[in-house]
Amino acid sequence: MIALAAATTPDQLCRRLNVLTTVVSVAFLFGIALSARLWISDRAFPLVPVHPFFVTLLRPANVALLTVVIVLLGVIPFRKSKWVFLAVIGTLVLLVAEDQMRLQPWVYFYALIFLPFVFTSHNKNDDVNNIVRCLQVLFVACYFWSGVQKLHPNFLDNTFADILKRLFRITDTAPYKPLGYGIPLFEILTGFFLLFVRTRNVGIALAMASHLFILLYLSPLGANANYVVYPWNVAMVLSVFLLFFKNTNTLFVFPEGIRSTFLQAGFVVLAGVMPALNFAGWWDHYLSFSLYADRINYLFVAIEASEMKNLNGRYNPYVIQVPGLSGGSIVNVEAWSMAELHVPVYPEPRVFNVIAQRFCSHDIPEGKIVFMETTLPLSSTTLQTYTCARFSRPIYDPH
C-alpha cells in the first residue's frame, strides 16, 4: 500500500472526511435554499422529466422527497452511515427524474462526492485511502476539464469580456482578449499540480485563488449574479484543503481489492474520461464541468406582438430588446429560469424541447411563434430555428 506521512495518518484522513462531508452537506442545504422553487413542482417554469411517467409518479410526492433530502443532509454531519449517503443519492435521482433542471453542476458534484461513501466504510484504513483517492480524482478532473472547456473563442467574447467590464471597468476589451486564455490555462495547471504530491501546495493555492476570484466576480462588485453557486465555491475551497494539504497519497497506485479497484476506476471514467465525449455531443455540458465556458446553447422564443398581448404579460419580464426588431417580442428563457428558479437552464436540446412545448401549449397559431437555439454571441452558423410543428405530440402534460 501507499506510504502515509505523519500529517495524513488514516485517523487524520478519517477526521478530514468527516469535516468534508459536513461542509458539503451544509453547502448543499444552502444551495437548495437559494434555489427553493427549483425543487418544487408547483411553479410556472415547466418541469422537464426524464420521461413523462416520472411526473405522474413523483409529482404528488415532490414535497415529501424534498423533505427527505433536507433531513438526510442535516443528518450527515452527525451520522456517516453508508445508508444515509445511499438514501440521499437515491432521493436525488428521483427528484432529477422528475425535473432535469435540478441536475445543476453543483448538485452533480455533491452527489459524486457522496458516492464513494456508499460503497466503502470511511472508518477502515484501506477504505479511507480509497475514498480520498476517488475524491482527489474528481477534483483534479473538475479543474482540468473546466479549463479545457474554456479554451474556446466564446469564452473570450462573453465571460472574459464581462469580467473585464464589470471587475476592471474596461470598456474596450478587444486588446485584452488574448489574456483570457490565461484563465483556462490557470485551471488546467491547478488540476495538473494537484495530481502530483510534490506540487500539491501550488495546486491548492491556485485552486483557492480561482474560487476566491469567482466569488469576487459574482459579487455586487462584478456580475452580481448566480448566487446559488456561492456555497459550492466556498465548499470547494475547504474541500481542496481537506483532501490535498499535507496528503502524500499518490493517485498513481493500483488499489487493493476488486471493490476498491472498480470504485476508483469508475471515478476515473466518470469524471476523467466521459467529459471528453462532450466535444462529440455524447455527454452533457454540465456533466463535463463546462462552467462559464460559453460553449452551450441558449433558447429564445420570438412571439408575434398580437399573441404576446393574449398572454397577459406572462413573459414580459423576460423580453430582451433587439435593435431593429418590430412586430413582436423575444423571450429569453435563461432570464426566466434565473428569475424564478435562480439557476440557469440545463443546456441540452431535450430540455429545450420540453420548455418549447410549454409555449406551444398556449395554442399560438403556427408561424406566430419561433424558437431559436444559439450560442452567444449570436452567430448564423450556430443558430437553429423551429416552430411548434416540430412536435408531433406533447412530451408531457405541463398542467
260-299 residue pLDDT tens: 788 889 999 999 999 999 999 999 999 999 999 999 999 9
Cα 188 to Cα 373: distance, rounded to the nearest angstrom: 30
| pLDDT reading at 258 higher than 80 | no
Copy the grid coordinates of residue 94.
428521483
Specify the pLDDT at position 398. Answer: 47
300 three-state secondary structure: strand
Specify the pLDDT at position 6. Answer: 41
Mean pLDDT score across all residues of the chain: 91
Query: How does strand 384-386 pair with strand 369-374?
Result: antiparallel
Please state which of the ranges 270-279, 327-336, 340-349 shows the lowest mean pLDDT. 327-336
Mean pLDDT, residues 68-72 taken together: 98
Specify the pLDDT at position 5. Answer: 39
Cα 262 to Cα 264: distance, rounded to the nearest angstrom: 6
Specify the pLDDT at position 11. Answer: 84
Confidence of residue 327 (pLDDT cuts 50, 70, 90): confident
Confidence of residue 30 (pLDDT cuts 50, 70, 90): very high
Q: What's the CATH number of domain 298-390, 3.40.1620, 3.40.50, 1.10.10, 3.30.70?
A: 3.30.70
Cα 162 to Cα 225: distance, rounded to the nearest angstrom: 12
Specify the pLDDT at position 70. Answer: 98
48 three-state secondary structure: coil
**Residue whose C-alpha is closest to residue 254's, from 130, 131, 102:** 130
Amino acid at 154: N
Please state which of the ranges 117-131, 217-231, 233-247, 362-376 shows the lowest mean pLDDT. 117-131
Copy the grid coordinates of residue 386.
423551429
Handedness of CA 209, 275, 73, 49 (dihedral sign): positive
216-239 residue pLDDT tens: 999 999 999 999 999 999 999 999
Amino acid at 396: Y
Specify the pLDDT at position 399. Answer: 47
Confidence of residue 259 (pLDDT cuts 50, 70, 90): confident
85-100 residue pLDDT tens: 999 999 999 999 999 9
Q: What percent of the chain has pLDDT over 70?
A: 92
Cα 366 to Cα 381: distance, rounded to the nearest angstrom: 25
Cβ-count burial 129-159 (b if 16+ within 10 Å, e if not): bbbbbbbbbbbbbbbbbbbbbbbbebbbbbb
More confident residue, 246 or 380: 246
> Which letter does DSSP use for residue 276 in this model?
G
Cα 340 to Cα 45: distance, rounded to the nearest angstrom: 7
Specify the pLDDT at position 4. Answer: 35
Query: How do the domains of the chain map onto residue ranges?
Result: 121-288, 298-390
Mean pLDDT, residues 17-45 taken together: 97
332 three-state secondary structure: strand
More confident residue, 26 or 121: 26
| pLDDT reading at 255 higher than 70 | no
Copy the grid coordinates of residue 398.
405541463
Mean pLDDT, residues 46-60 taken together: 92
More confident residue, 128 or 183: 183
**Residue whose C-alpha is closest to residue 360's, from 318, 314, 310, 394:** 394
**Is the entire prediction scored with pTM above 0.85?**
yes
| pLDDT reading at 37 higher than 70 | yes
Specify the pLDDT at position 2. Answer: 34
133-154 residue pLDDT tens: 999 999 999 999 999 999 999 9
Copy the grid coordinates of residue 347.
443546456
What is the four-CA torsion angle of 13, 201, 271, 277, rounded to 10 degrees? -170
| pLDDT reading at 377 higher than 90 | no
More confident residue, 284 or 363: 284
